[in-house]
Each structure stands twice: as structure tokens, then as C-alpha cells.
């Protein structure tokens, strides 16, 4: 038997960089370095562990929708051990919202062929955590989200979802969509061998026409959400320095009380 896993990986602006909005109030992606969303590294890791623990032939495809530089995110996932990559890139995608992004991802997943889709719990920039549910709805398959443990056995995906009051054991028959949390297991670092091997792994590029998507189904003008205004965060002011000359603890407590923290 074989198992085809598609892992959705997002290329996000580096949160430690200086991020700005462009004139049309979308994120200025040209002005800041990007990287593979850290939360998606957990999704890649779980796909690799499923593969390593399986007697079946497992093929792991990593998929991103994003600009030219999003290839960097794919290369990182390939160097961790994924087998191949798909990059969906098209100028008409500029400003596409979550609904449009889920359409593009779903069409690409269908075209690639899949038994299991693994997503992160949220991207580190948009952080909506809605894409896995939107994908399951569009693909018409079960969703098992926010798993901190995941395994595949006999055509069934199983996992544990930890809540505040209880942990649930969940399962769904394949094909299915799952999302995994940052508690699912530390993501591995790419080895030197992995980095070298990634250079030779196939990266397929698709645009909207490859996916039979019309330009009026995506893009800023067709987004359901609109950003009306954005204001830059004010520059940080210098903090209050408390010099401890015997009264430091008291001063600290007074400061916290004045800010209503205690
Ligand atoms: C070029 C480009 C321009 C965009 N411009 C805008 C804009 O102007 N306004 C706007 O509202 N949105 C825009 N988006 C979409 C936005 O960045 C998000 O991808 C989308 O809204 C999903 O929301 P999220 O990031 O909160 O995903 P979440 O639901 O938090 O993500 C959950 C998981 O879904 C997967 N995922 C999410 N996005 C992608 C992706 N792009 N590729 C692969 N996997 C993914 C990952 O596995 C992730 O862990 C743009 C996207 C692209 C690619």
C-alpha cells in the first residue's frame, strides 16, 4: 500500500524583521525577509514520523501558495526530509484572503493527489487557524484538528487533542485533513546531507490556470475581508529602570500595582 501525504507550508515574513504595510494595505512582502512558518515545521515533522513508522510506501509532498521567495520555505521542508514540493505562484494572487487561499490550496491538493493533508495549527503571521477547516470543507473530507499526537494505521488517522479540561482521542478514515500543534514533537533540524539532497528534489510550479481557477475568484478585489486603515505601532519608549539600593523589590511591587498587574 502507499500513503500520499501533502503538508501545507506557509512562507511568512520574519517576525523579528521590520514589517510594514504596502500602499494598498496588504503586507509589504518585498520589504522583509521571509521563512518557513515555524508552526508548519511541526507539520513536516509529523509527516516524516508517520513515514518512518510506516511499513507502507509514504510520499510526502510539501505545498505552498506564495510569492517567488516562498521557494525558500519549500527548500527548508525538503531539507528536513520531504520528497517533493509544489509551489503555486501567480501575480493575480496578490491580496488573496483566507477563503481564496483555501480554494487555491484545495485545488492544488486535489491535483497532486492525497490520502492525508497535514497543516500547522496556525500561520505565524495571519494566525487565524482557519485553513485546515476550510480545506476539509472544500475537499469534502473529515477534519481532525489541533492534534498533539498523530499516527496512521489501516486507512485511519488517529490523534490526541489536548483541551483545558480533557484530552480527546480522535480518529477519521482517510482521506482526511489534520492540523498539528506545537506540542506534537520538536521539529528536526535539516542535516547537511538533507540540505544537499534537497537541491535535487523536484519542485513543481503551478499558476492559477494550471488549477482551473479564474482570476475573479482570488486577489485583493475579490477578498471577503478588507483592511480599511492601518497605523504603524509607535516606537518603543525607554522603560523605567529601577536601581536596587535596598528598596528595589518595593519599587517593583509599586510599579506593578500602579499598572494594575498586581
Ligand atoms: C501572495 C499572498 C498575498 C496575500 N495577501 C493577503 C492580503 O492582502 N490580505 C489577506 O487577508 N490575506 C492575504 N493573503 C493570505 C494570507 O496570508 C493567509 O495565507 C490566509 O489568509 C490564511 O490565513 P492564515 O495565514 O491566518 O492561515 P491559518 O489558518 O492560520 O494557517 C493554518 C495552516 O494553513 C496552512 N497555510 C496557510 N496559508 C498557507 C499558504 N499560503 N500556503 C500553504 N499553506 C498555508 C499552513 O499549514 C498553516 O499552518 C495572502 C497570501 C499570499 C500567498
| DSSP letters for 121-151 | SS-SSS----HHHHHHHHHT--EEEEESEEE
Q: CB under 8 Å to 60, separation ≥6 — which residues? A: 5, 7, 44, 47, 48, 51, 81, 82, 83, 84
Map out the domains of the chain as residue ranges. Answer: 2-222
Ligand 1 centre to CA of 131 (Å) is: 8
Distance of CA 124 to CAs 12, 29, 35, 237, Å?
Answer: 7, 14, 10, 26
Residue 146: CB atoms within 10 A of its CB come to 21
Supply the pTM of this predicted model: 0.90
Ligand 1 atom nearest residue 126's Cα: 26
Question: How far from chain centre, in Å, is Cα 156?
Answer: 23
pLDDT in tens, 219-238: 999 999 889 998 888 888 88
- Backbone φ and ψ for 255, nearest 5 degrees, come out as -65, -50
> Mean pLDDT for the chain?
94
Question: How many CA atoms lie within 13 Å of 3's alpha carbon, on the beta-carbon side?
Answer: 28
User: In the chain, which ranges are E strands?
Assistant: 2-8, 11-13, 34-36, 57-65, 84-88, 116-120, 143-147, 149-153, 156-162, 167-173, 176-180, 203-206
Determine the distance separating the centroid of ligand 1 and the alpha carbon of 127, expressed in angstroms: 9
Mutate to test the pocket of ligand 1, among 126, 207, 218 (most ligand atoms within 8 A of CB): 126
Nearest to 23 by CA among 188, 184, 243, 229: 229
Which mean pLDDT values do the consecutive 10-residue runs of the chain (262 residues) have?
95 85 83 91 98 95 96 97 98 95 98 98 94 98 98 96 96 98 97 97 98 97 92 83 88 91 90
Pocket-testing residue among 101, 109, 121, 208, ligand 1, by greatest number of atoms within 8 A of Cβ: 101
Q: Whose CA is nearest to atom 5 of ligand 1?
A: 95
CA 220, CA 197: separation in Å to the nearest integer? 37
Beta bridge partners of 156: 153, 173
For domain 2-222, give the CATH number: 3.40.50.620
- Is the distance from CB of 150 to CB of 42 less than 8 angstroms? no
Residue 51 alpha carbon to ligand 1 centre in Å: 26
**Pocket lining for ligand 1, CB < 6 angstroms:** 8-10, 26, 37, 39-40, 43, 63-67, 93-98, 101, 105, 119-120, 122-123, 125-132, 220, 225
- For the segment 197-222, what is each residue's pLDDT rounded down to a tens digit? 999 999 999 999 999 999 999 999 99
Ligand 1 centroid–CA 252 distance in Å is 42
Amino acid at each position: 500500500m502507499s500513503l500520499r501525504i501533502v503538508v501545507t507550508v506557509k512562507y511568512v515574513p520574519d517576525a523579528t524583521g521590520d514589517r510594514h504595510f504596502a500602499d494598498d494595505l496588504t503586507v509589504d512582502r518585498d520589504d522583509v525577509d521571509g521563512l518557513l512558518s515555524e508552526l508548519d515545521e511541526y507539520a513536516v515533522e509529523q509527516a516524516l514520523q508517520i513515514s518512518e513508522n510506516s511499513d507502507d510506501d509514504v510520499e510526502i509532498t510539501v505545498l505552498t501558495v506564495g510569492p517567488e521567495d516562498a521557494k525558500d520555505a519549500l527548500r527548508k521542508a525538503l531539507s528536513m526530509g520531504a520528497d517533493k514540493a509544489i509551489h503555486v505562484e501567480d501575480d493575480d494572487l496578490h491580496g488573496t484572503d483566507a477563503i481564496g487561499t483555501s480554494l487555491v490550496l484545495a485545488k492544488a491538493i486535489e491535483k497532486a493527489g492525497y490520502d492525508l493533508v497535514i497543516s500547522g495549527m496556525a500561520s505565524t503571521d495571519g494566525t487565524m487557524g482557519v485553513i485546515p477547516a476550510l480545506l476539509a470543507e472544500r475537499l469534502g473530507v473529515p477534519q481532525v484538528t489541533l492534534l498533539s499526537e498523530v499516527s496512521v494505521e489501516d486507512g485511519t488517522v488517529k490523534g490526541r487533542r489536548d483541551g483545558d479540561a480533557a484530552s480527546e482521542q480522535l480518529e477519521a478514515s482517510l482521506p482526511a485533513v489534520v492540523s498539528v500543534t506545537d506540542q506534537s514533537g520538536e521539529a528536526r533540524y535539516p542535516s547537511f546531507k538533507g540540505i544537499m539532497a534537497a537541491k535535487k528534489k523536484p519542485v513543481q510550479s503551478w499558476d492559477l490556470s494550471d488549477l482551473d481557477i479564474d482570476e475573479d475568484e482570488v486577489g485583493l478585489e475579490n477578498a471577503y475581508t478588507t483592511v480599511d486603515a492601518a497605523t504603524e505601532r509607535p516606537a518603543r519608549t525607554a522603560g523605567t529602570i529601577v536601581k536596587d539600593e535596598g528598596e528595589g523589590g518595593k519599587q517593583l511591587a509599586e510599579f506593578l500595582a500602579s499598572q494594575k498587574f498586581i
